[in-house]
A = this chain, B = another copy of it.
Amino acid sequence: MKRIADSTVRRLSLYLRFLEEFENAGLTTVSSDELAARGGTTSAQVRKDLSFFGSFGKRGLGYQVAELTQRMRRILGLERDWRVVIVGVGKIGAALAQYEGFRQRGFRIVGLYDSDPAKIGREMYNLTVRSIASLAADNRERPVDIAVIAVPATAAQRAVDQVVGAGIMGIMSFAPIQLHVPADVTLNTVNMAMELERLSFALSNKE
Contacts and interface: CB of A to CB of B under 8 A. Distances in A.
A201 B92 contact: no
Interface stretch (A26-34, A135-143, A189-197): A189-197
A14 B203 contact: no
A146 interface: yes
A178 B125 CA distance: 29
A198 B102 contact: no
Interface in A63-118: 75-78, 82, 91-92, 94-95, 98-99, 101-102, 105, 107
A94 B92 contact: no
Copies of this chain assembled into the complex: 2
A205 interface: yes
A25 interface: no
B194 A10 contact: yes
Contacts of A57: none
Contact of A202 (B188, B204, B206): B188
A199 B178 contact: no
Given A77-B204, A92-B99, A193-B13, A199 B177 contact: no
29 contacts: A1-B205, A4-B201, A9-B197, A10-B198, A12-B197, A13-B198, A16-B197, A17-B178, A17-B193, A76-B197, A76-B200, A77-B200, A77-B203, A78-B197, A82-B200, A91-B98, A101-B176, A101-B193, A101-B196, A105-B193, A107-B196, A107-B200, A146-B199, A169-B203, A170-B203, A186-B202, A186-B206, A188-B199, A190-B190
Interface of A: 1, 4, 6, 9-10, 12-14, 16-18, 38-40, 75-78, 82, 91-92, 94-95, 98-99, 101-102, 105, 107, 145-146, 169-170, 172, 176-178, 184, 186, 188, 190-206
